[in-house]
């Protein structure tokens, strides 16, 4: 297993290890910003440990208090930043100025809340870590994606359109993603965000089902058959609504299985059924394919521990799905393979645009045609309806590779948590949530093949959950063997050492987050 693919310089404090023979505490020895294994060419051995009595004499009486304060700051820091992020997420998902008439004039509240969030975050981050952000691989990848977007602008057909797309979509998601990764550093914060988005999903699902039953339609070329999301913005398009629900359903399943409370299990599984029903009434072909892909991942990962129960649950779910699916749903899904059966012509139109996006990507392989500019090369001014070719055609082939790596790398993180966690012990929540996030990311990867959503918020929150869950798991359950610990843990930053009095405490237990 390769552990060097995951670096968290500046996020995790170095942890002490104990000498197996003498049980004397020794401190981690940093080399070039991270620890090296003994077989690494740059490996530098740690200095010999000082006797316990001598170590005790060097410490000031208040050192333990300073250290405790430093540990608390590292683990609980960014409290105000998280409060601002949580408020921003509420505005992003719920758009209260649409739901509450008294707030109808405050349509810019998300923008101003974002400014406040950034202001609080930057000040806190500089004081805690001495830098603007930690640098896990996902942060580096999204910076590369932003650089590709900027490089695509000078040669775009419409630089104005390129700047508008970058500033109003990609830049916002990039900045909030950076805040997300650095701020969500406790289980409570993670659970609060998950419950928020699940609550929004419940509202959207109930509204979608009620609108379908009441015959309230109004989206796209099939106005007599397709619903629109009750909340505008991210969810107004029925395909985008289906994509969002597809990514949330596996998380609900994971939380249901991880819970030991029967009532909570029943509630989470009920929410899952509600979201699946809502995906069905959207008549989204991309949503259906993403749902199948996510289900396959859940069955395969969960079935390793209890194959009989997993297969039984899958059969039961399929029976319910077939029994309750609308009569026209099967006809809609059949158009995936039979374009001639699609009376609206949308399937053949999307195929035509997909072929054009491939041609544009090959014609402009280095910098693309400019972010947000594909429609200038497209028939009838249409979008790509495919997130991968959207990035490839607008930003270049290299940027598309970066985007794919941004989606795949968090899945590797979740697989590692799954392998290292015990589903029956204290790591139960981490184990099942890592599987749920794997299924969510795979569901997005399949559904986004039918939607131009590469710059939208959906996947950036998912990747943020994965990165932060990985971070929390390492902090609470550090790897047991020395090789894994040395590869996965980074030493104290200079800023952190100042906070704890310039001295690291050896022999301490792993921080409980």
pLDDT of residue 148: 95
Q: Which range is least confidently modeled, 66-70, 146-150, 195-199?
A: 66-70
Distance of alpha carbon 102 from alpha carbon 87, whole angstroms: 18
Q: Tell which wins on pLDDT, 354 or 253.
A: 253
Distance of alpha carbon 141 from alpha carbon 341, whole angstroms: 41
Burial letters 145-165, b for 16+ CB under 10 A, else e: bbebbebbbeebebeebbbeb
Distance of alpha carbon 183 from alpha carbon 173, whole angstroms: 15
Span 10-33, average pLDDT = 41
Q: What is the average pLDDT value for the chain, to the nearest integer?
A: 78
17 sits in which H/E element:
strand 17-18
pLDDT of residue 7: 45
pLDDT band at residue 302, thresholds of 50, 70 and 90?
A: confident
For the ranges 109-118, 336-345, 494-503, the maximum mean pLDDT occurs at 109-118
- Burial of 318 from C-beta contacts in 10 A (0-12 / 13-18 / 19+): exposed
79 CB-near residues (< 8 Å, 6+ apart)? none
Handedness of CA 420, 12, 72, 118 (dihedral sign): negative
Question: What percent of the chain is predicted at pLDDT more than 90?
Answer: 45
Please give the span between the terminal C-alpha atoms of the chain, in angstroms, as a whole number: 26
Whether 45 shows a pLDDT value over 90: the answer reads: no
Whether 315 shows a pLDDT value over 50: the answer reads: yes
Written as six digits, the tokens of 383 are: 């979008």
- Burial of 451 from C-beta contacts in 10 A (0-12 / 13-18 / 19+): buried
pLDDT band at residue 339, thresholds of 50, 70 and 90?
A: low
- CA-to-CA dists, residue 378 to 170, 354, 357, 360, 448, angstroms: 21, 10, 8, 9, 19
Whether 449 shows a pLDDT value over 70: the answer reads: yes
pLDDT of residue 329: 67
SS3 123: helix
Q: Tell which wins on pLDDT, 189 or 237.
A: 189
pLDDT digits (tens, 9 = 90+) for 154-181: 989 899 999 999 998 899 999 999 999 9
pLDDT digits (tens, 9 = 90+) for 87-99: 999 999 998 888 8
pLDDT band at residue 225, thresholds of 50, 70 and 90?
A: low
Q: Give the CB-side neighbour count of residue 75, counting CA atoms within 13 A.
A: 18
- Do residues 82 and 468 make contact, with C-beta atoms less than 8 angstroms apart? no
25 sits in which H/E element:
strand 25-26
Distance of alpha carbon 7 from alpha carbon 134, whole angstroms: 10
Q: Give the CB-side neighbour count of residue 166, counting CA atoms within 13 A.
A: 24
Q: Which range is least confidently modeled, 135-139, 406-410, 474-478?
A: 474-478
pTM summary value = 0.78
- Do residues 402 and 186 make contact, with C-beta atoms less than 8 angstroms apart? no
List residues bridging with 31 in a β-sheet.
34
pLDDT of residue 202: 95
pLDDT of residue 472: 92
pLDDT digits (tens, 9 = 90+) for 104-135: 788 888 899 999 999 999 999 998 888 889 99
Q: Tell which wins on pLDDT, 489 or 333.
A: 333
């Amino acid at each position: 297993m390769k552990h060097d693919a995951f670096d968290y310089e500046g996020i995790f404090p170095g942890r002490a290890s104990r000498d197996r023979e003498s049980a004397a505490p020794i401190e981690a020895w940093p080399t070039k910003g991270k620890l090296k294994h003994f077989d690494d060419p740059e490996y530098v051995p740690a200095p010999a440990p000082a006797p316990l009595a001598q170590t005790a004499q060097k410490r000031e009486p208040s050192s333990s208090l300073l250290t405790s304060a430093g540990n608390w700051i590292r683990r609980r820091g960014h409290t105000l930043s998280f409060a601002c992020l949580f408020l921003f997420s509420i505005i992003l998902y719920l758009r209260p100025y649409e739901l509450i008439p008294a707030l109808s004039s405050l349509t810019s509240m998300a923008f101003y809340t974002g400014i406040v969030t950034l202001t609080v975050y930057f000040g806190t981050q500089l004081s805690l870590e001495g830098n603007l952000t930690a640098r896990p691989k996902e942060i580096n990848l999204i910076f590369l994606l932003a650089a590709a977007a900027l490089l695509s602008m000078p040669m775009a057909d419409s630089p104005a359109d390129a700047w508008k797309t970058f500033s109003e979509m990609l830049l916002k998601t990039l900045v909030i993603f950076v805040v997300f990764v650095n701020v969500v550093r406790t289980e409570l914060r993670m659970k609060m965000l998950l419950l928020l988005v699940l609550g929004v999903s419940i509202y959207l699902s109930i509204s979608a089902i009620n609108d379908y039953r009441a015959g309230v339609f109004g989206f796209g070329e099939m106005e007599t058959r397709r619903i629109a999301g009750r909340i505008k913005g991210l969810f107004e398009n029925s395909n985008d609504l289906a994509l969002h629900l597809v990514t949330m359903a596996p998380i609900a399943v994971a939380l249901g299985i991880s819970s030991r409370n029967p009532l909570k299990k029943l509630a989470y599984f009920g929410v899952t059924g509600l979201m699946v029903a809502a995906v069905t009434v959207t008549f989204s072909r991309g949503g259906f394919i993403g749902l199948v892909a996510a289900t396959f991942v859940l069955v395969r990962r969960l079935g390793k521990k209890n194959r009989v129960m997993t297969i039984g649950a899958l059969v039961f779910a399929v029976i319910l799905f077939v029994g309750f699916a609308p009569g026209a749903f099967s006809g809609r899904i059949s158009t995936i393979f039979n374009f001639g059966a699609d009376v609206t012509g949308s399937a053949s139109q999307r195929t035509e645009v997909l072929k054009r996006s491939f041609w544009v990507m090959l014609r402009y392989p280095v910098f693309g045609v400019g972010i947000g500019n594909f429609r200038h090369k497209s028939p009838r001014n249409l979008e790509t309806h495919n997130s991968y070719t959207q990035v490839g055609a607008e930003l270049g082939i290299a940027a598309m590779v970066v985007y794919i790596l941004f989606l795949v790398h968090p899945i590797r993180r979740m697989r590692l948590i799954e392998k290292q966690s015990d589903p029956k012990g204290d790591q139960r929540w981490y184990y099942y949530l890592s599987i749920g996030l794997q299924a969510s990311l795979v569901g997005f990867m399949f559904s986004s093949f039918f939607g131009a959503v590469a710059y939208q918020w959906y996947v950036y929150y998912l990747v943020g959950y994965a990165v932060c869950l990985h971070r929390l798991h390492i902090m609470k359950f550090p790897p047991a063997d020395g090789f894994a610990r040395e590869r996965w843990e980074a030493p104290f930053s200079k800023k952190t050492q100042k906070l704890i009095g310039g001295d690291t405490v050896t022999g301490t237990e792993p921080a409980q987050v």
